[in-house]
Amino acid sequence: MTPKDLSIRRGIIFLLATVAVAWAGGDLRAVGVTGWDSYSVRIVNLMGINAVLAMSLNLINGFTGQFSLGHAGFMAVGAYTTALLTMDPVTKKMVYFMTPIIPPLQNLTLPFIVALLFGGAMAALFAAMVGVPSLQLRGDYLAIATLGFAEIIRLVIQNAQVITNGALGLKGIPAKVNLWWTIGVALCTYVLLRNLLQSSFGRALRSIRENETAAQAMGINLFRHKMISFLISSFVAGVGGGLLASLLTTIDPVMFKFPLTFQILLTVVLGGMGSLSGSVLAAAIVTYLMEFLRIVEEPRTLGFLTIPGIPGLRMVIFSFALVIVVIWYPRGLLGDGEFSVGRMLNSFRRMVTRRRAAV
């Protein structure tokens, strides 16, 4: 199969999967939900948030080639910052019943969009402190360093009771997020990152991914480009964390452990390292399957046979399906290419023309 034929197949997969997920999001009868209800909207909201998180991690891991595992920590910073800046003083007083919150934050309440941007900025600030020492490393050493810093951030949040309420977490966060926010932020993230990666800066990031020595020989400042990419990725992760906090209306430090980063990394690998549209597609598929497969954990009656529910079975099936996908698509569903309807149609026409000429 030629590369052009492969791109056609990937484009068709992306188109069909997007249509299927959109239909499923509007009518989740497979999981016992009829119509466009609050549960369906919540699933689509999670798809949008996961797409934002996957694209942000893909920027540093897929396009820059730096193996970072600190995404959960930056999400936590963005989530707590957004939550603290949107909660009203009365709610804060009730939530901080054991240890009062520090006075500067007690009466501070900002509009959601401002708080969301502050959350992204705080995540970028923490990323700057993490990136200065860790981006001097490469490969597995960078992964271990960023993972360690993410755990440090989580532990600081867990113990800073006068700011974060410690292990009790935050409750009563205003539910500002809706489909306009999640889909809108995901679309803006895609457009901004796509334009960034098509610029000279994006080409420099790809050259760093392919060969750092050659990129440096061409005059590219490795640390500067890595740091900017890391800051942008962390900023978007902080915004995604803020959206998640507002959607769930309650957060705690346990949410932001390493498995959360692993889930985002799994989404990036499934969609394709170096493909923004692949990250969007994989985020929709993973989010939907994680909910759809809940039906396998419910008790079933088949005639005279009663099958008890098996907790955790959906993860077994999901992992098995992931292994099959990786075997057939070792570079992800879309590889390092982007979905384009026009490009797919042109490639399809050329393929048909070649086959007719061969006949």
Please write the tens of the pLDDT for every residue from 120-171.
999 999 999 988 888 888 878 888 999 999 999 999 999 989 999 888 889 9
The mean per-residue pLDDT over the stretch 292-297 comes to 78
The answer to the question of residue 262 being in a domain is: yes
Lookup result for tokens 């205003």: 174
3-38 residue pLDDT tens: 545 544 555 555 455 445 444 444 443 333 444 678
Reported as half-sphere exposure (CB side, CA atoms, 13 A), residue 312 has a value of: 0
Assigned domain for 2 exists: no
The answer to the question of residue 5 being in a domain is no
* pTM, two decimal places: 0.83
- Mean pLDDT across the chain: 83
Domain that holds residue 319: 15-349
Give the domain CATH number at 22.
1.10.3470
Mean pLDDT of 60-81: 92
Domain count for the chain: 1
Judge whether 251 lies within some domain.
yes
Instruction: Check residue 135 and give its pLDDT.
Output: 86
Residue 355, pLDDT > 80, answer: no
- Structural domain includes residue 73: yes
Residue 3 lies in a domain: no
Distance CA 82, CA 63 (A): 28
pLDDT at residue 338 above 80? no
Q: What is the 3-state secondary structure (H, E, C) of 112-167?
A: HHHHHHHHHHHHHHHHHHHHHHHCCCCHHHHHHHHHHHHHHHHHHHHHCHHHHCHH
Residue 329 lies in a domain: yes
Residue 201 belongs to a domain: yes
Sequence-distant (≥ 6) Cβ neighbours of residue 78 within 8 angstroms: 119, 120, 122, 123, 237, 238, 239, 240, 241, 242, 245
